[in-house]
Amino acid sequence: MIFKRGLNQEGAAPIFIVDCISESRAWSRPGMQGIESVAPLYINHSIAACRQQKTNDGFHHVLASDDIIESSYVSNKTGEITSQFPLFILHDGYGRRANFDERKLQELFSDVEQPDEKSHKVYPEDIMDYIYASLHSPSYREKYEEFLKTDFPRVPRPKNWKEFWRLVELGNKLRELHLMHEVPKSKVVFPIDGDNIVEKISYDGGKVYINKTQYFDNVSELAWNFFIGGYQPAQKWLKDRKGRELNTDDILHYEKIIAILEETDRIMEQIG
């Protein structure tokens, strides 16, 4: 992986390369920024998570990625630096292998019966989707609330193969949703013509106002307040565009964001 540093200094190389998991402050010193961005040498799926939480909003600090991310991908709060866990890593400098410890994998499946010849083969992507679903489980987040404030989340063992494959399916839906590969049809509309300039943002009875007259309608309060990591996407996306004019693509994109947040909540309820 290629790491780009956020602040260049005279005589200091702006990048370095590693072949293992690394944290964003792995290469820094007092007075300097840590890593600004991470670029895998090949397209890779990954789970991004924070090691600790500095707020009392609960654990929301996990998000899928298949691209370059930076240290504030999941949260920009101090102490909630994002770490990236790639699904595959380079092997012998040429090929790639799944980024799993064989001993830990055996422990993960230690409570379930051994698969027979008729069982589905388990692929690395299946394990990733199981993990992603497990970390989005409301009951898991509630049960381990205090632990999740101080360390990386631990992966619970599946009760049986039926439960494993159920969560694999839901985790895959959730991951594809968060990567915006599969987005449900949105019920949100932007009904009023105007200059589309984002000025004062407010929420009132299902309407998200971007200025005095224009608004997105049919936005649920759940979506408006929904957290992913340290962010509330429905609010932050608009705040980041204050003073700007929204074009047609921007409007459609925001409508997709709302649909994704509402579908995320629905899938999380199914995970249980």
Q: What is the pLDDT of residue 30?
A: 45
- Do 89 and 55 share a structural domain? yes
The reply to whether 106 falls in a domain is yes
b/e sequence 76-103, b meaning 16+ C-beta within 10 Å:
ebeebbbbbbbbbbbeeeeeeebbeeee
Instruction: Determine contact, residues 214/192, Cβ cutoff 8 Å.
Output: yes
Q: Is the pLDDT of residue 206 over 50?
A: yes
Q: Which of 178, 193, 219 is the last residue of a domain?
A: 178
Ramachandran assignment for 229, one of left (phi > 0), alpha (psi -120 to 50 degrees), beta (any other): left
The answer to whether residue 192 sits within a structural domain is no
* Same domain membership, residue 113 and residue 238: no
Half-sphere exposure of 254 (CA within 13 A, CB side): 27
DSSP at 163:
H
Domain shared by 122 and 61, yes or no: yes
Q: What is the mean pLDDT of residues 93-102?
A: 82
Query: Quick check: is 174 in a domain?
Result: yes
Question: Is position 30 within any domain?
Answer: yes
| 147 & 231 share domain | no
* Same domain as 167, residue 48: yes
CA 20 to chain centre: 21
Q: In whole angstroms, what is the distance from residue 82 CA to residue 89 CA? A: 19
The residue with tokens 């459609």 is 252
Same domain, residue pair 223 and 103: no
Beta strands in the chain (DSSP E): 2-5, 15-17, 35-39, 46-50, 62-65, 82-86, 88-91, 95-98, 202-204, 207-209, 215-216
Per residue in 231-264, pLDDT (tens digit) is 999 999 999 999 999 999 999 999 999 999 999 9
Least confident of 35-39, 54-58, 71-75: 35-39
Higher pLDDT, 102 or 163: 163
pLDDT in tens, 64-78: 998 878 888 888 887
Once rounded to an integer, what is the mean pLDDT over residues 78-106? Answer: 84
Q: Within this chain, do residues 174 and 208 fall inside the same structural domain, yes or no?
A: no
Same domain, 152 and 207: no
196 domain-assigned: no
Residue 97's domain comprises: 2-178
* Mean pLDDT rounded to a whole number for the chain: 84
Residue 5 has pLDDT above 50, yes or no: no
Tracing tokens 């309820």 back to the chain, one arrives at 269
Q: What is the pLDDT of residue 121?
A: 84
Q: How large is the average pLDDT for residues 119-130? A: 89
**Are residue 206 and residue 156 in the same domain, yes or no?**
no
My answer on whether 169 and 70 are in the same domain is yes
93 falls within a domain: yes
- What's the confidence (pLDDT) of residue 92? 73
pLDDT band at 19 (very low <50, low <70, confident <90, very high): low
pLDDT of residue 216: 98
Distances in whole angstroms, Cα of residue 17 to Cα of each of 1, 92, 165: 6, 16, 36
Yes or no: say if 197 and 233 are a contact pair by the CB < 8 Å rule.
Answer: no
Count of domains for the chain:
2
